[in-house]
């Protein structure tokens, strides 16, 4: 087994790197880490993840083999503000509800049609040390 820090980045083909960066900044508070004319790398606060936006011509809403990628909320109370932020930033809400009582979720698309899941999941006591 290879020890890793888990999934560290995803690279997405987007039409407009500035627009994509602005969406993730507004919705998730992402910070630009590296920038060139044809790509921008952002990182969400308090994480080791990187989202890379590479200029290209994606087929809108057809992310070939990517079904969705997700972000876990720190508080279940943040789901309503997430819905507002996504809409304000130009995203579309596809579905939202609760997986089980107390565990809200939403599925949305970003401006390039990539599907994102944002959800809250209760952490079992045995897992709380890993938070």
Asked if the structure places residue 101 within a domain, the reply is yes
**Are 14 and 59 contacting, i.e. CB atoms less than 8 angstroms apart?**
no
Locus of tokens 């599925």: 107
Asked if the structure places residue 53 within a domain, the reply is yes
- The dihedral sign for the CA sequence 50, 53, 54, 60: positive
Say how many residues make up the chain.
131
Model confidence, pTM: 0.78
Q: What is the pLDDT of residue 108?
A: 95
**Are 80 and 130 contacting, i.e. CB atoms less than 8 angstroms apart?**
no
Q: What is the pLDDT of residue 2?
A: 54
- The dihedral sign for the CA sequence 84, 87, 89, 92: positive
* Residue range 19-77, pLDDT digits in tens: 999 999 999 999 999 999 999 999 999 888 899 999 987 665 555 667 788 898 989 99
The total of structural domains in the chain comes to: 1
Asked if the structure places residue 34 within a domain, the reply is yes
Residue 45's CATH number? 3.10.180.10
Phi/psi at 130 (nearest 5 deg)? Answer: -90, -5
Q: Which domain holds residue 112?
A: 9-130
């Amino acid at each position: 087994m290879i020890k890793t820090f888990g999934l560290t980045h995803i690279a997405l083909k987007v039409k407009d790197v500035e627009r994509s960066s602005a969406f993730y900044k507004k919705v998730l508070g992402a910070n630009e880490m590296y920038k060139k004319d044809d790509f921008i790398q952002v990182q969400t606060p308090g994480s080791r993840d990187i989202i890379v936006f590479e200029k290209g011509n994606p087929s809108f809403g057809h992310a070939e083999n990517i079904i969705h990628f997700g972000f876990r909320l720190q508080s279940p109370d943040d789901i309503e503000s997430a819905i507002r932020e996504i809409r304000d930033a130009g995203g579309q809400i596809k579905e939202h509800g609760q997986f089980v009582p107390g565990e809200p979720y939403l599925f949305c698309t970003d401006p390039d049609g990539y599907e994102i899941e944002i959800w809250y999941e209760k952490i079992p006591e045995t897992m709380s040390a890993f938070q």
